[in-house]
Amino acid sequence: MGKALLYKRQYSAKISVFSLICAALFIASSAFAKEGDIQIQLADTCPPSFSLGTDNRCSLRHMYQLYDSLQDSGIGGLKTALPKARDGFSPQQIDLGRLLFFDPILSADNSVSCATCHNPKQGFSDAMGRSVGINGQIQTRSAPTLWNSAFLSSFFWDARAESLEEQAVGPLFSPAEMGNTPKQLLMSLKNTDTYVGLFKQAFPEQKVPISIGNIATALTAFQSSLISLNSRYDQYAHGYHNALNDDEIAGLNVFRSFVARCSQCHTPPLFTNQQIAVIGTPEPEGLPRDIGAEETFKSKVLRGGFKVPTLRNIAQTAPYMHSGRFKTLKEAAEFYTGGRGHAVPEGEDLLLHWHISEPDLTDNELDRLVDFMKTLSDESLVPITPAQLPSGLSFKHMENSNNEKS
Ligand code: HEC
Ligand code: HEC
């Protein structure tokens, strides 16, 4: 699966002895050996799971394309088709997006990159209840995974963005996250020779390759390449019965039963039906109620409603829920059997979804649910973290210093 040619560096090689002597003489001059002299050749092949067309565009290939059942048909059906994915980006755009994603040059003070909060080593999340942005500012919600975001039609817990492009400008210019301004961002990229060359490679036909639109396109291209569809669950769904053991199959059966009803909302194969549901999860101790989608749609009936999150790679992204309120998968599963609305504070009037019921699951059934959710892990297509960033800055991951993880 490894992509050999991800990151080819070519130092401007043809340096004559004469020019070396000149350089030595003019050592104070910045004309030699400055950072911009490093040239990075962007990948010219697609990431694994994509095939390259003659138009230099990458198209996604996956097993679910073999099935033609409609996304909405067959409750809990195992071979349901997937929605159409965002694809069609060039290998160079995807690779540029990868470099941008890890590069803290995108933030106002060069301290935070997308990967700070969406770390590939932590399921593209950050193991925190609430993420931390520049100057240690604590966000109001937890960082969702980015795996399979290519298939999503709305973004953020409250569904307030409709595309990955629209989403990307959120954190870049949010004072609490990366704190940048369009002007400063464009200037810092334009002042980095390496980036000037990279944007030209990724957007060869454009007169002004460095633009906010192209930054969003490259980030979208990269995020759309984060495909996770080869878990043990998928192997089972495609007919390899032994991919799951008896406990896990028992868990799958609880998951899709009309008693537990998990698959009504966490519908396979994406493990989300992409709708908003009010389920009444608790906020962390002492924090105000997060009204969620009520704000987005200015609709009282959506008070406390959140986008049903995917459960893909869920074992990697604790703690759970928009607030990171639950530390373990067992606690998250237990929530559903605690009684309809049990965590809704008094006086708070939430219109709970009708699939939130009183399933009264046994401890054994909860354990089997956890066993099953753990089979949804597949990180085989994890992209390579750049060894060196075009800006010369280094990628730092926020230490897990905060916070209310209970
Ligand atoms: C300071 C931490 C932080 C940084 C930096 C950050 N994010 Fe996020 N990201 C979050 C949090 C928290 C959310 C959820 C916010 C919400 O729903 O209100 C989120 C949500 C998202 C989502 C929506 C996922 C979904 O399923 O709805 C995407 C996509 C995303 N971020 C991509 C990015 C990209 C691209 C960057 C860099 C330009 C970035 N993030 C930078 C913390 C961060
Ligand atoms: C009515 C729709 C619905 C049903 C039924 C449902 N869920 Fe959820 N699930 C959601 C929503 C919405 C969230 C996010 C809620 C929040 O953040 O407050 C969620 C969150 C989760 C999370 C945390 C995901 C994350 O990324 O943090 C897990 C785990 C989970 N559900 C498992 C289950 C299990 C197991 C069942 C069955 C017992 C189930 N769900 C039934 C809608 C549903």
Both tokens of 338, joined, read: 């605690």
Q: Which ligand is nearest to the CA of 135?
A: 1
| Boundary (domain end) residue, out of 223, 242, 276 | 223
4 found inside a domain:
no
- Listed residue (101, 59, 89, 46) closest to 215, CA to CA: 101
pLDDT of residue 397: 64
When pLDDT is cut at 50, 70 and 90, the band that residue 69 belongs to is low
Residue 403 confidence (pLDDT) above 90: no
User: How far away, in angstroms, is 175 Cα from ligand 1 center?
Assistant: 13
User: How far away, in angstroms, is 379 Cα from ligand 1 center?
Assistant: 19
Most ligand 1 atoms within 8 A of CB, residue of 109, 141, 156, 389 to mutate: 156
- Listed residue (134, 32, 75) closest to 263, CA to CA: 75
Can you tell me the distance from the alpha carbon of 77 to that of 267, in angstroms, rounded to the nearest whole number? 9
**Residue of minimum CA distance from atom 43 in ligand 2:** 265
CB under 6 Å to ligand 2: residues?
Answer: 260-262, 264-266, 277, 279, 281, 306, 308-309, 311, 314, 317, 320-322, 329, 332-333, 336, 353, 355-356, 369
pLDDT of residue 37: 52
Can you tell me the distance from the alpha carbon of 366 to that of 362, in angstroms, rounded to the nearest whole number? 6
Q: Are residues 204 and 278 in the same domain?
A: no
User: How far away, in angstroms, is 157 Cα from ligand 2 center?
Assistant: 12
Q: Which ligand is nearest to the CA of 368?
A: 2
pLDDT, greater one: 66 or 332:
332
**Residue 341 identity:** G
Residue 15 confidence (pLDDT) above 70: no
**Residue of minimum CA distance from atom 6 in ligand 2:** 262
Q: How many helices (H) and strands (E) does the chain have?
A: 13, 6
Q: Are residues 150 and 81 in the same domain?
A: yes
Q: Are residues 216 and 187 in the same domain?
A: yes
Q: Are residues 73 and 213 in the same domain?
A: yes
CB under 6 Å to ligand 1: residues?
Answer: 106, 112, 114, 116-118, 131, 133, 139, 141-144, 146, 149, 152, 155-158, 164, 167-168, 171-172, 177-178, 219, 223
**Three-state secondary structure call for residue 375:** helix
Both tokens of 116, joined, read: 């700070």
35 found inside a domain:
no
Q: Are residues 217 and 240 in the same domain?
A: no
239 found inside a domain:
yes
Both tokens of 178, joined, read: 């990366």
| Chain segment 19-48, per-residue pLDDT in tens | 444 444 333 333 333 444 567 999 999 999
**Pairing mode, if any, of strands 276-278 and 58-60?**
unpaired
Beta bridge partners of 38: 11
Q: Are residues 299 and 199 in the same domain?
A: no
**Pairing mode, if any, of strands 58-60 and 38-41?**
unpaired
Can you tell me the distance from the alpha carbon of 379 to that of 311, in angstroms, rounded to the nearest whole number? 13
333 found inside a domain:
yes
137 found inside a domain:
yes
pTM beyond 0.85, yes or no = yes
Q: What is the mean pLDDT of the chain?
A: 88
The ligand 1 atom at the shortest distance from the C-alpha of residue 133 is 1
pLDDT of residue 334: 97
Q: Are residues 289 and 314 in the same domain?
A: yes
User: How far away, in angstroms, is 153 Cα from ligand 2 center?
Assistant: 18
Mean pLDDT, residues 361-373 taken together: 98
295 found inside a domain:
yes
Q: Are residues 212 and 242 in the same domain?
A: no
Both tokens of 372, joined, read: 């099953």
User: How far away, in angstroms, is 12 Cα from ligand 1 center?
Assistant: 37
Residue 6 confidence (pLDDT) above 60: no
User: How far away, in angstroms, is 188 Cα from ligand 2 center?
Assistant: 41
Peptide bond into 269 cis (omega under 30): yes
Q: What is the CATH number of the domain that holds 110?
A: 1.10.760.10
Q: Which distant-in-sequence residues (6+ apart) come within 8 Å of 134 by Cβ?
A: 107, 108, 109, 111, 112, 176, 177, 178, 179
Q: With both helix axes pointing from N to C terminus, report the angle between 363-373 and 246-255 in degrees, rounded to the nearest 10.
A: 100
**Three-state secondary structure call for residue 39:** strand
Can you tell me the distance from the alpha carbon of 32 to that of 132, in angstroms, rounded to the nearest whole number? 39
Q: Are residues 205 and 319 in the same domain?
A: no
Q: What range defines the domain where residue 320 resides?
A: 232-376
Can you tell me the distance from the alpha carbon of 230 to that of 339, in angstroms, rounded to the nearest whole number? 34
Tell me if 215 sits within 8 A of 168, measured CB to CB.
yes
- Listed residue (143, 165, 166, 163) closest to 153, CA to CA: 163
131 found inside a domain:
yes
Beta bridge partners of 125: 119
Tell me if 405 sits within 8 A of 284, measured CB to CB.
no
Domain count for the chain, please give it: 2
353 found inside a domain:
yes
The ligand 1 atom at the shortest distance from the C-alpha of residue 139 is 12
First to last CA, the chain: 38
Most ligand 2 atoms within 8 A of CB, residue of 257, 289, 336 to mutate: 336
Q: Are residues 241 and 352 in the same domain?
A: yes
Q: Are residues 196 and 272 in the same domain?
A: no
Mean pLDDT, residues 352-356 taken together: 94
Q: Are residues 193 and 320 in the same domain?
A: no
User: How far away, in angstroms, is 268 Cα from ligand 2 center?
Assistant: 13
E strand or H helix at 278? strand 276-278
Can you tell me the distance from the alpha carbon of 32 to that of 185, in angstroms, rounded to the nearest whole number? 26
Most ligand 2 atoms within 8 A of CB, residue of 128, 252, 258, 265 to mutate: 265
| Chain segment 154-207, per-residue pLDDT in tens | 999 999 999 999 999 999 999 999 999 999 999 999 999 999 999 999 999 999
**Residue of minimum CA distance from atom 13 in ligand 1:** 143
Can you tell me the distance from the alpha carbon of 79 to that of 234, in angstroms, rounded to the nearest whole number? 9
